[in-house]
Structure 1
Amino acid sequence: MKIPARRTMFVPATALLLCTAVAGPALAEDEAPSTASSTSTQADDSLINTSPPDQPEEDVSEVPADEVDKQPEAPASEARPPLPGDVPAAADCAPAHGVYIPTKQGRKYHRAVGPTNSNYNGTSRTAKSTFTSEVTGEVGVAVTGELETSVGTLLAKVKAKYQVTVSAKLTAKLGNSIAVDTPSHKSTHATYGVWRLKHTGKSYWLHQNCTTTPERTVVSYSPFRIGWYLWES
């Protein structure tokens, strides 16, 4: 009696790696991520990029965690602003306060905590590379421009408009590991840290008589989730 032969197909590990890279989720410019994506685990940590992480295009200032709820000083014009009673039937917007309105959501930016780790595969086969975070560090909010209200208010406005979970700070901790495939004669590089979402908005001071100071553009980078950024060379 003849036993029929079975044919088994083997898929190279490099092909699997490429499939992972193509399938990984990403946030495009102006795309509002869903609430589910904000609470997902490291779903796109295994995405292999072709270059190191991009840095903010602007000169940003990191906001210390203990200053997130700090209100900026009122503009000099508020020392004696026009009052509603100064003009008959004038509008009343008291008390005067700063305003922030988000207008655009950008993409994610990765801020590393600790050094970049690298592994070169000098063999003729795909090899497994394992990386482990070496330090613990906090990443907070960074802003550029003149914000007329607190960073806490900015975060609340962003959450409400785009339905995303952004925080005043996130902590990337020592000891987190990830294992990925490194193709033959390639190097895999890895940094562990915090992903931040970019937002653009406008900010101004609203006087008691409902007039405002000129609108100013404010760009912010807010902690979104903790994770890895990987790339090959």
Structure 2
Amino acid sequence: MADDGTLPSASSASAQSDDSDINTTPPEEPAEDVTDVPADAVDKDPEGPAEPKPLPGDLPPFRDCNPAHGVYIPTKQGRQYHRAVGPRNSNHNATSRTAKSTFTSEVTGEVGVSVSGKLDVSVNTLLVKVKEKFEVTVSAKMTAKLGNSISVDTPPHKTTNAVYGVWRLKHTGKSYWLHANCTSTPEKTIVSYSPYRVGWYLWES
């Protein structure tokens, strides 16, 4: 892993944060202020701003970018973040020997995409651009299901904690709206968290 926490390549994404890894802290929350994208809005392209009106004396536009459309350009792939579905499970080993802890997911739930700011494209477009750029497949939503189990060793006098849910990959990109006359709105930096795989997050305390 690079010093800034980013993945050095797309192939290493699947090897990071394996379910059997025991962490020392609970799952991290996104540092940005992000909003979940509603399931019924995933396929929809957002409406763009009104076409800017030419000022008196302006020449007619000579370039044509019809139809007006949103643009998203991914620039950076970060690491995985875990979004829990259901409650935390814990097991304390009060003995002087290593004990086996088994955890089972208690609910079924979906996790979708979260973004900072307003995208000028649909979520599906964002996912396609991410796949093209980083050769990694992320989804609009994934389901963590009831009944999935995992067993791990708990050291003496330690507590193993576990949450089941969805690992999401962080991506940073630029988004803007391109008008029909080829002018554009200012670029915005968009951070997204997209479902990558279903699994457990484990930590000891």
Q: Same fold (TM over 0.5)?
A: yes
2:155 pairs with one of 183, 191, 195: 183
Asked if structure 2 preserves the Cα contact closer than 8 Å seen for 1:196 and 1:223, the reply is yes
2:182 alignment partner AA: C
Residue number in structure 2 paired with 1:56: 30
Partner of 1:165: 137
Unaligned 5+ segments in structure 2 are none
CA contact (8 A) 2:42 2:124 kept: yes
Alignment partners' CA distance in 2, 1:74 and 1:59: 23
- Identical aligned pairs, as a percentage? 72
Match of 1:69 among 25, 32, 43: 43
Tell me if the contact between 2:78 and 2:171 (Cα under 8 Å) persists in the aligned partners. yes
> How many residues are matched?
199
CA distance in 2, matches of 1:209, 1:81: 10
TM superposition shift of 1:28: 3.9
- Contact 1:103 1:202 (8 Å CA) reproduced: yes
**1:123 matched residue in structure 2:** 95
User: Distance in 2 between the 1:230 and 1:97 partners?
Assistant: 43
Distance (whole Å) between structure 2 residues aligned to residue 43 and residue 155 of structure 1: 21
Larger Rg: 1
**What TM-score results when the alignment is normalised by the length of structure 1?**
0.80
Q: Determine if contact 2:178/2:185 at 8 Å carries over to the other structure.
A: yes
> Any unmatched runs of 5+ in structure 1?
1-26
Higher helix share: 1
Per the alignment, residue 198 of structure 1 pairs with 170
**Which whole-Å deviations, capped at 9, do the CAs of 1:153-205 have from their partners, x for residues lacking one?**
11110011001110000000000000000000000000000000001111011
Distance, in Å, in 1 between the alignment partners of 2:196 and 2:118 is: 22
Secondary structure of the 2:192 match is: strand
- The correspondence of residues 92-111 of structure 1 with structure 2, limited to 5 A, is 92-111=64-83
Q: 2:117 aligns with which of 127, 141, 145?
A: 145
User: Counterparts of 1:63 and 1:209 in 2: how far apart (Å)?
Assistant: 30
Structure with a larger share of its residues in strand: 2
Partner of 1:210: 182
